[in-house]
């Protein structure tokens, strides 16, 4: 058995620890977007594979027998490529989505989130990372961004403050953040995880509206919510000689 772990999340880091503890031959793959990724106990690689064909070639050349997709719930491109490229056993380690609350406005994608913001200028906590913030460039709002790494180039937003910090964040920290910056609206992806939940609990305490972006649709696949379930899946595959 040789496992490819598609990572970049807290869940993937814990999965890597479990694979190492079980002495399973595995490789951890980073997308390459973070400048200082977490060091792992198993071998790592960084960067894209070159689409479906590139990933299929990698799986063959590295003799990968099992793939665990523990990427971010919004890394839909990588997840779809894994489904298309993988002929062997594949599972996803996926954190549960947050349950929609009454003060949240649910939207299907990032473009819809930009359209759902108020017409008047507002102070917005844009908690979606930096990859798609250009979609908000033509809006009149003042944005607060919290990024893992400092921006390598000027942001496309004319009115924005950037905080460089790495989570998880707690309730008290996010409550103070929203108050100190006079935030009126939060835009967030429904990424799930307790580590990113604090801003939503703080928003509820302050009675702030939240625009929540739905997860992208992924084709049906075997999905687990815990590392223990994935380990049982691997053990069962090994017992069957897969």
Give the domain CATH number at 67.
Answer: 3.40.50.720
pLDDT of residue 236: 81
Q: 106-120, pLDDT tens digit by residue?
A: 999 999 999 999 999
Do 53 and 82 fall within a single domain? yes
Residue 131 has pLDDT above 90, yes or no: no
Parallel, antiparallel, or unpaired: how do β-strands 26-30 and 44-46 relate? parallel
Q: Rg of the chain's alpha carbons, rounded to an integer? A: 19
204 shares its domain with 230: no
Taking residues 157-173, report their average pLDDT: 92
**Residue 222 and residue 202 share a domain:** no
Are residues 7 and 67 part of one domain? Answer: yes
Lowest-confidence region among 27-36, 202-211, 226-235: 27-36
Compute the average pLDDT of residues 132-150.
Answer: 94
Location of structure tokens 């790592």: 44
In this structure, are 85 and 47 located in the same domain? yes
pLDDT given for residue 240 in this prediction: 54
Q: What are phi and psi of 110, to 5 degrees?
A: -70, -40
Which structural domain, as residue segments, surrounds residue 132? Answer: 104-213
For the cut 60, the answer to whether the pLDDT of residue 241 exceeds it is: no
Percent of the chain residues topping a pLDDT of 70 = 98
Q: Are residues 169 and 233 in the same domain?
A: no
Q: pTM score, two decimals? A: 0.85
Average pLDDT over residues 167-194: 94
Query: What pLDDT score was predicted for residue 152?
Result: 84
Residue 111 shares a structural domain with residue 201? yes
Based on the domain organization, do 81 and 120 belong to the same domain? Answer: no
Same-domain check for residues 74 and 135: no
pLDDT value of position 166: 85
Our count of domains for the chain comes to 2
Arithmetic mean of pLDDT over the chain: 93
For the chain, how long is the longest CA-to-CA vector? Answer: 61
Exposure of 98 in the CB half-sphere (CA atoms within 13 A): 24
Same domain? 111 vs 205:
yes
Given a contact cutoff of 8 angstroms between Cβ atoms, the answer to whether 88 and 242 are in contact is yes
Same structural domain for residues 53 and 149? no
Cα distance between residue 3 and residue 104, in whole Å:
39
> Is 228 a residue whose pLDDT tops 70?
yes
Q: Where are the beta strands (DSSP E) in the chain?
A: 3-6, 26-30, 44-46, 66-69, 90-93, 104-107, 123-127, 142-147, 160-164, 185-189, 210-213, 222-224
In sign, the C-alpha dihedral spanning 31, 34, 36, 38 is: negative
Q: DSSP 3-state assignment of 81?
A: helix
Average pLDDT (181-185) is 98
Question: Same domain, yes or no, for 149 and 201?
Answer: yes
């Amino acid at each position: 058995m040789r496992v490819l772990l598609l990572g970049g999340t807290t869940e993937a880091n814990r999965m890597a620890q479990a694979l190492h503890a079980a002495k399973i031959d595995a490789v951890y793959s980073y997308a390459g977007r973070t400048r200082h990724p977490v060091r792992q106990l198993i071998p790592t690689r960084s960067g894209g594979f070159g689409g479906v064909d590139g990933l299929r070639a990698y799986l063959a050349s590295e003799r990968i027998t099992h793939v665990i997709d523990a990427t971010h719930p919004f890394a839909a491109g990588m997840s779809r490529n894994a489904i298309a490229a993988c002929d062997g056993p594949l599972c996803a380690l996926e954190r549960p989505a947050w349950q929609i609350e009454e003060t949240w406005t649910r939207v299907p994608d990032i473009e819809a989130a930009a359209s759902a913001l108020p017409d008047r200028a507002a102070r917005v906590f844009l908690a979606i990372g930096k990859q798609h913030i250009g979609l908000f460039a033509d809006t009149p709002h003042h944005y607060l961004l919290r990024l893992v790494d400092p921006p390598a180039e000027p942001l496309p937003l004319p009115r924005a403050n950037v905080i460089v910090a790495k989570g998880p964040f707690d309730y008290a920290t996010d409550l103070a953040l929203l108050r100190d910056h006079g935030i009126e609206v939060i835009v967030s992806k429904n990424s799930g995880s307790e580590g990113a939940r604090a801003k939503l609990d703080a928003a509820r305490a302050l009675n702030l509206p939240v625009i929540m972006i739905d997860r992208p649709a992924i084709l049906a696949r075997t999905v687990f919510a815990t590392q223990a379930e994935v380990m049982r899946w691997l053990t069962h595959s090994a017992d069957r000689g897969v």
